[in-house]
Chain A
């Protein structure tokens, strides 16, 4: 329990320390806090007893601050949350490290925002109470808004406002779903409000199917904005495009993961029948999203937006795999969250490092960087390969599992697992992977390989915005330098993570499996029930066909 509380309180304290320190000391304070939190998270991971049981730990009650509102200060997480906590604790110091030279103004605020964010994210992942989760989830918006709006690119204000409004409306919609459940639960159980996840899950999953439909639509609809799901995704590419490097890293690596985490922790368990009924709708949207975003990536010349759109496509696949309602798919989706966090964060770091040198993200303007920055190119190609799921790297494992989950989730002919999706879905999703390979390779070809193209002379001056006014070392005829030790140090942990998960994923998969099974469990029952109800009918209707299938 102490460790869990420390994970929330330490970054908060560090943030205030940052605000109170000097401009020069801020990065040291921020970095130090980030490392200490990473240490605490690691310690918690070692102490975590539920790696293979799928249970929640420490599940202990903290302060009874908001008990009058039915909010328990109950902290605990399962292996899925623990993985995301580790990811968060790793990404925050890395993203700070990569910003040392690019952020030259208002540094105290900058590093403080990251720590505020870390604290809120930790709270969201540790909460066993819906409102407690919501506090963390919603509070991330404030630092995120400021990071994009203050330290971002030209269109930073538009991007930040869009991010704010989309996310706020989305999370309020989820909140309505939660409150509806809690109020119903209170009415059913004698009036006492209780927002704890376990009681809402128990109440929600026993509601009539038509009610669950609405509950799922509200909760999932809200999280869909954060994931982001295709019709409501348009804030993300803009935010990514305009955010500072570290902001993009945190946005892709952590913040949008809260959306997925919310889906699997709240939307799926609280309204299983609703999820089942809406699965065709959401899966179709996910497929459309994956394909459409992959096509968009194909014609993107802004590298950062390209990676952002590919993020939308990837998250769509992860969500599709969740709607497979089987353990393999759920495992794949969870692993996908971690892997995407590592590889996409790595790509954003690479692009940020390049941007710091050239002040452009346009592939038409800059390219062939292999000749100028060989070490950088190694990292860029490596993370791109991890992201397009090269076998041996982490992306492959999760993508394979996701596709397998989707493929096997058909009506029972192929594997005996009844479900909604099936080979057709898997085929279409796999098509997107081919597209993924196309656009990533096109990007690498233009951007890393090929003839060297660099922005010339003063021509690029307007690319740098005011925060980079001092960073003109790349201008003129001065030769651009390759990555330095600090930048390598920031990217190395992510690269190591990609390799380790790629060649030895079994510990993580073993850890995720029971937790994933817990989430899937109600669905297996429901699907079997539906199948049992449907079976006699089909048998009566087409006995010949049934016989044919049996043979």
Chain B
């Protein structure tokens, strides 16, 4: 097999027409992002404070556009590897994204706004960062959505980077403190390194197959598998890409940054970077794996080397994450380790394979996103003497100081624990079942024990607010001035309680998102 390397790129150019018809939601979101950036420069405070609402409105418009354009026919015409994946991911990012916007509202650069409002400081377009903040937030979401449209590695990489780059800026500008700068630099350099690793992996994949198109690559691998076996260059390429993606997932061995970066970033930003990069990473991982062994290659199994590496990553990630979380006294660091552990759980779904497990991973992303936002949002909704709440000690007796926030925090934590019938339980159940159905018994047991460990540290977020009495230290803990972070936390906590009533629908959506394109099916049936 010796294809002309220019051919696939030309082929992808020819299919741009149907692709553009699907891209309407992202265009809407991009316009919204630009609008946010421009309006943030306005001299009028009213206009500047309206920016979050523009962001919310553009997310709503994106959602509406997605509903309108994303039909199965349109997706089929665009020849996407996973036709309905985009619908699920866009909906997920829009809904949870609104929560992230609200959680950030009013908390971004409060001090500067206060100074300008009181006349203590003059308006300075360089220092007022509200507009950019929301613009970057929307751009990152936009990148996450665009990944689902990828049919070749170039698109995949560009969308991946569009999702990543704004998050570094968000970490830097989300909080007027030196620590956030330090965190941002750490995050950026490590992120750049991981991206480079991933890109090198992509290059190897191109070298191994001579194509950048995912479907052509998949066919090439199928051919290799049937004749000589998949070459080691390709395996190394996939593994390098996986390592790069691990950074986004905060999975072992690229997890070290997470606690520091989350602690340095402001709470709403920490919420954002613990969720959106996970969506980004898992979608990329699924698309990538669907070229080697999952998609057109037919048998739906991951090559053994890759499966073994993923297995180790999953086990180490969930175990180290949970053990790390046990040792923390800072709520944000604890949640950072919890975010690591949750990536480990979600990798179990990937390991279970395309037909059984991927939908479980997608469902878990949703349940995790909602519960995580309720928890982080609650942290974003309180402050102590004007500073962010970070230590677990600050949460003692929170029910007295901020009852609604305390309830939201507890519900989010219980959902992350997996207490039935709260939302998180259904995500976990689905992953457990996926592990059992794919005969991954060891993983099933390890995961169960891990969730036992997790039950211990999540409990602190329930026990602190509801069991402990307020201490002198917590005298200064108050809800933040802005109403919206509280609203976000409470709404998503209510979501944790209410969404189980729609569990069937959610599972249906995630299952349809995980279906690979029709190209794979004839091969499958032919083989049977």
Give me the interface of A with B, judged by CB distance under 8 Å: 64-70, 131, 134-135, 138-139, 141-142, 145-146, 149-150, 157, 160-161, 164-165, 168-169, 172-173, 175-176, 179-180, 182-184, 186-187, 193
Contact = CB atoms under 8 A, between A and B. Distances in A.
7 contacts: A65-B504, A131-B420, A135-B420, A145-B462, A165-B452, A169-B455, A182-B433
Contact of B420 (A67, A139, A146, A150): A139
Nearest to A180: B436
Interface string B416-442: 010111000110011011001100010
Contact of B445 (A66, A149, A176): A176
B421 A69 contact: no
Contact of A66 (B437, B459, B467, B503): B503
Query: Which of B426, B444, B451, B467 counts the most chain A CB atoms within 10 A?
Result: B467
Nearest to A152: B467
Contact of B459 (A138, A161, A184): A161
Given A139-B421, A176-B445, A69 B500 contact: no
B433 A183 contact: yes
Interface in B394-421: 414, 417, 419-421
Given A69-B429, A157-B467, A168 B507 contact: no
B448 interface: yes
Interface residues of B, number: 34
B282 interface: no
Given A141-B419, A175-B432, A183-B437, A67 B504 contact: yes
Given A161-B459, A183-B436, A135 B421 contact: yes
Contact of A180 (B420, B426, B429, B441): B441
A150 B456 contact: no
B444 A176 contact: yes
B452 A69 contact: no
Contacts of B414: 142
Contacts of A182: 433, 436
B455 A165 contact: yes
A67 B459 CA distance: 30
Interface string B492-512: 000000001101100110010
A516 B463 CA distance: 41
Given A65-B501, A145-B459, 12 more contacts: A68-B503, A138-B419, A142-B419, A142-B462, A161-B459, A165-B455, A168-B455, A169-B449, A175-B448, A183-B433, A183-B436, A187-B437
Nearest to A222: B448
A138 B452 CA distance: 12
A145 B441 CA distance: 31
B467 A179 contact: no
A279 B417 CA distance: 33
Given A65-B500, A65-B501, A138 B448 contact: no
A146 B503 contact: no
Contact of A172 (B448, B459, B507): B448
B504 A68 contact: yes
Interface in B463-513: 463, 466-467, 500-501, 503-504, 507-508, 511
Contact of A68 (B425, B451, B455, B507): B507
Contact of B432 (A65, A142, A161, A176): A176
Contact of B467 (A131, A160, A172, A184): A160
- The binding surface of chain A is classed by DSSP as helix
B394 to A, nearest CB: 18
Contacts of B462: 142, 145
A69 B455 contact: no
Given A138-B419, A139-B420, A164-B459, A69 B430 contact: yes
Given A138-B420, A149-B467, A182-B436, A69 B456 contact: no
Contacts of A173: 448
Contacts of A131: 420, 429
Contacts of A134: 420
Nearest to B502: A65
A157 B441 CA distance: 35
Contacts of A70: 433
A200 B437 CA distance: 15
A151 B107 CA distance: 37
B429 A168 contact: no
A164 B437 CA distance: 29
Contact of B433 (A64, A66, A168, A193): A193
A157 B504 contact: no
A141 B420 CA distance: 10
A110 to B, nearest CB: 12
A134 to B, nearest CB: 6
Contacts of B419: 138-139, 141-142
A66 B506 CA distance: 10
A70 B426 CA distance: 11
Given A65-B501, A69-B429, A179-B436, A165 B444 contact: no
A74 to B, nearest CB: 15
Contacts of B437: 183, 186-187
Contacts of B449: 169, 172
A169 B444 CA distance: 14
A190 B436 CA distance: 15
A138 B504 CA distance: 21
